[in-house]
Structure 1
Amino acid sequence: MSEEKGVTRRSLLMGIGIAFNAIVGVAIAVPVIGYLLSPVKKKSAYNQWISLGKLDQFPEGQTRLADFVNPFKRAQDGETANTPCWVRRVSTDQFQVFAINCAHLGCPVRWFPQSELFMCPCHGGVYYADGARASGPPERGLFTYEYKVEKGELHINAGLMPTLADQSKLVVIDGKGKSPCLG
């Protein structure tokens, strides 16, 4: 008797099962591999310098509210892609650019030029004009953005929100001046 080699029900179901398992395996592996490779991608992708405007928009000795569009916005972000920050011009080429968020729980702080204080309406956090903690629940001063002056414009590194996660560049300011970096 000669045996015919054809597709049997068992081999067909086995092939479908192997194909289905391969699809599920790829669907699980792609995000895991992306997660493992994200630190390599993160360093270059999040270094986005954004212009806040011409230098003459920020008079010396004053603190002004500025805003920029988040460089990683999506269509569904709408108005939330506009990110505000406080810009203080200390001298001709020296600035301080503060995140608008309180270092306690992230509520937006307001600048009061009469008292030269930043105040948080949520829990009573108060900061001096240089961003140092004055009183209230926050344990540190306001977070600052890296900045640079280029072609008569003020630019900030808006790729990463300033937080304690990046302590290597965080400088704590007390009433006497700058202290060494945390860490």
Structure 2
Amino acid sequence: MDERSAVPITGTWTIESVTADALVHLILRRALPAGRRFLGETDISLSALAGLSLDQLLAPDAPARFRILRDAGVLAFDGQVGQGRGRGEFAFTAAAEPATPEDLFTLAIHDIGRDFVGAFDDLGYDDATVADLVELRLHAVTPSFVRQLRDLGYERIPLPQLVELRAHGVTPKFIRHLRDLGYANVPADQLVELRVHGLSGLR
């Protein structure tokens, strides 16, 4: 194992709320070099927090230890939970992968695993950076979405343009509807323009 991977990345965590369908609002904070700070927020299923139950979370304050297991590594949490909230410290131990612990930490908190990365590799995006992968995840650009675009003739669209298409609601259904209207093979950038200028309701 790379010696860097054996040194945990540490910080603090808080749970701000839990919904009726057991979604937990989790916030991670870390100090970074040069006085910078990291703040990450996510809504995560309670079932992904191994070792923490809904009963524990809703009971009076008590010590708690739980983990999030990712392909990129393990986030271990230690602290207090109760009455739907919690706080404490976390440590991320990176997996033995050919990437920096910081990159693996980023992949872990965005739940970007080997299947997601491998699928985009297979689609020809093996040059995607960690930042690219995060953008794809945040904008719900899935391998299935890219495959459907390919089936409609949109081959090897650049990653930023894939994000733009998804962000503006350009879906395979929208493209097929345009074809039915006689507008076939509309360039990807013009698809976005059509959505921006009012062709809506076809998501």
* TM-score under structure 1 length normalisation: 0.28
Higher gyration radius (CA): 1
Question: Normalized per residue, which structure has more helix?
Answer: 2
* TM-score under structure 2 length normalisation: 0.26
Q: Which has the higher contact order (CA 8 A, sep 6+)?
A: 1
